[in-house]
Amino acid sequence: MFNYRIMAIIKREIREKLLSRTFIILTILFPIIMFGGIGIQYILHQDEAVEKVVIVTENAPLTNSFQKELLTSDVMKSGKLSLLFYTMNRQELKSYLEKKKKDLLEGQITGVVYIPFSSMKDKRIEYYSKTPTNHALSNKLEGPINNVLIDSYFSNKAISSEELDFARKSLNFSGFKVSKEQNVKEEGYGNLILSYIFSFLLYISLLVTGQMMLQSVIEEKSSRIVEVILSSVSPKELMTGKIIGTALTAVIQMAIWLSPIILIVSTTLIALPPELAFTITLVHIGYLLINFTLGLIIYLSLFGMMGSIFDNTQDAQAGIWPLMMLILIPFFIAMSMMENPNSPIANIAALLPFSSIMVMPIKMTLVEVPIWQLILCIVVNLLTILLVFPIAGRIYRVGILITGKKPKWSEVIKWLQYKY
């Protein structure tokens, strides 16, 4: 299958893409942008404005209890929360809200928390604000408010302070991983964080590499350079060389992105905190790169095929939406696996063509996957290549030489009748 002409095209593609400004900038900047985005989000969180919240209850003793609990709680240590306490009945609250409506709309008051007597039984409190779905604020206030409600509920019951402290505590789940090769040990957040990183890296690489392949084919077709190239090589050799060359470039880029993880896995010089430690090995990384390479060949065949059909990028972008869905759907499935790695949809998607390139590495990071599933995933991708590559090649062979008009899909289907 391989000859010196295909090898020459592979070298040309690797040389052009590895030395291109886009490749260098994306390889260096994407990790900086990804982790920098997290840092910027943290900085913005630290620099957020002070939230002014009014706490209203229906009797003075309860107001004093909330004031004592909230002002001494951890939520006040950040200095980003200002609390005011009042005692009002519901009618007085209604008048207060009318009076402070302008302040609420202008943001001078973030919101008003109303804790009625009924909350002592059903724990239902009311929040009045311009943005009532402020989950960050509710998470801050939920714990201290719940503590006061528990204290008030058990105040007239024969219960010790130790029992009351136990009732006020929230659950703290600790996960312990059970595997065949290792003893049972506590699982931190490292694998979960790693699964997010793998998801975004695979998604971005597929998206960018596919677009590069599409753009490259369109440029060669529209500038008639392909006619000169085809005087020396066949369309099959040209397409094969471009796909393999582009795929190898993307694998090199992925390996560079994964190099910090590879360094951590392969050496004991870098030790992560126990809660951030992950359990993957170099075998996992190697499998990810192999599976990624096979999946890339499938996608690049389709992107190259679509590039040969159209003469310009605008028409191509409108025609490749099915390919974009084949990338987006596995990405969303992979993200949903963070909550339930063993969901039926995830188990099926991990073994299907097009989706396994992204879903299987994430599943492998979160749970222990049987070897037969890993092998089956590779076999499925190989069979998909054998199916997709000839179809894409037939369309590429005809479409790459047709210019001047946008072909109909019925015409494209007829191209499949030509022998490849």
Give the chain as a 3 state SS string: CCCHHHHHHHHHHHHHHHCCHHHHHHHHHHHHHHHHHHHHHHHHHHCCCCEEEEEEECCHHHHHHHHHHHHCCHHHCCCCEEEEEEECCHHHHHHHHHHCHHHHHHCCCCEEEEECCCHHHHCCCEEECCCCCCHHHHHHHHHHHHHHHHHHHCCCCCCCHHHHHHHHCCCCCCEEECCCCCCCEEECCHHHHHHHHHHHHHHHHHHHHHHHHHHHHHHHHHCCHHHHHCCCCCHHHHHHHHHHHHHHHHHHHHHHHHHHHHHHHHCCCCCCCCCCCCCCCHHHHHHHHHHHHHHHHHHHHHHHHHHHHCCCHHHHHHHCHHHHHHHHHHHHHHHHCCCCCCCHHHHHHCCCCCCHHHHHHHHHHHCCCCHHHHHHHHHHHHHHHHHHHHHHHHHHHHHCCCCCCCCCHHHHHHHCCCCC
How far, in Å, CA of 367 to CA of 175, rounded? 12
Q: What is the model's pLDDT at position 380?
A: 94
How far, in Å, CA of 109 to CA of 94, rounded? 16
- Strand partners of residue 392: none
Question: Is residue 330 very low, low, confident or very high in pLDDT (cuts 50, 70, 90)?
Answer: very high
Question: Is residue 152 very low, low, confident or very high in pLDDT (cuts 50, 70, 90)?
Answer: confident
- Could you tell me the two tokens for 345? 């949809």
Q: What is the model's pLDDT at position 374?
A: 92
Q: What is the model's pLDDT at position 47?
A: 47
Amino acid symbol at 316: A
Architecture per CATH, 50-156: 3-Layer(aba) Sandwich (3.40)
Question: Is residue 302 very low, low, confident or very high in pLDDT (cuts 50, 70, 90)?
Answer: very high
Lowest mean pLDDT segment, chosen from 238-252, 270-284, 320-334: 270-284
Lowest mean pLDDT segment, chosen from 226-235, 291-300, 320-329: 226-235
Mean pLDDT of 189-203: 83
pLDDT in tens, 81-110: 888 899 988 888 889 888 888 888 888 888
Q: How do the domains of the chain map onto residue ranges?
A: 4-36+187-415, 50-156
Residues in the chain: 420
Tell me which residue of 327, 322, 308 sits closest to 391, measured CA to CA.
308
Cα distances (Å, whole numbers) of residue 206 to 84, 200, 211 = 52, 10, 8
123: left (phi over 0), alpha (psi -120 to 50) or beta: left
pLDDT in tens, 1-28: 567 788 888 888 888 877 777 777 777 7
Question: Is residue 294 very low, low, confident or very high in pLDDT (cuts 50, 70, 90)?
Answer: very high
pLDDT in tens, 37-84: 555 555 555 545 678 888 898 888 888 888 888 888 877 777 778 888
Question: Is residue 160 very low, low, confident or very high in pLDDT (cuts 50, 70, 90)?
Answer: low
Question: Is residue 186 very low, low, confident or very high in pLDDT (cuts 50, 70, 90)?
Answer: very low
Lowest mean pLDDT segment, chosen from 36-50, 180-194, 400-414: 36-50
Q: How high does pLDDT run on average in the chain?
A: 81
